[in-house]
Amino acid sequence: MSKSKTGTKEWAEINRNLSSNKASGCPNDCLYCYAKYMAIKFGRSTVTDWQKGLFDPEKINQQVCKGKEVMFPSAHDITPDNLSTCLHLIERLLEKDNKVLIVNKGVKNYDN
């Protein structure tokens, strides 16, 4: 009997994000965000820094896998401020014959 997959592994083999242990966050600052909870719990971010949505340039330019099922993003949202960077990474993933599952929550009203 094979072990059942749980969490994000139910949906994709691997996850990709623009954030890392060096920089993380999301300006949507959702109350129920598991990534936020874990980043603060393990000292990778603070409540204030999380809202800034800091991204790691090294993570953005990292080696891209080939031929995988990839969930993107899993630890932040796609927002107006990071849209072009997210599209760049998605394009790089698709160029390497990956299947990309794009995950995003409802968009915060950025006009107010």
Residue 14: strand pairing partners: 70
Confirm whether 98 is domain-assigned.
yes
Contact 86, 99 (CB under 8 A): no
Confirm whether 69 is domain-assigned.
yes
Confirm whether 31 is domain-assigned.
yes
C-alpha 71/C-alpha 93 separation (Å) is: 10
Residue 105's pLDDT is what?
Answer: 78
**Structure confidence by residue, pLDDT tens digits, 50-97:** 988 888 877 777 878 899 999 999 889 998 888 999 999 999 999 999
Residue 23's pLDDT is what?
Answer: 77
Residue 71: strand pairing partners: 15, 101
pTM: 0.81
Range of the domain at 17: 11-102
Confirm whether 42 is domain-assigned.
yes
Confirm whether 111 is domain-assigned.
no
Confirm whether 29 is domain-assigned.
yes
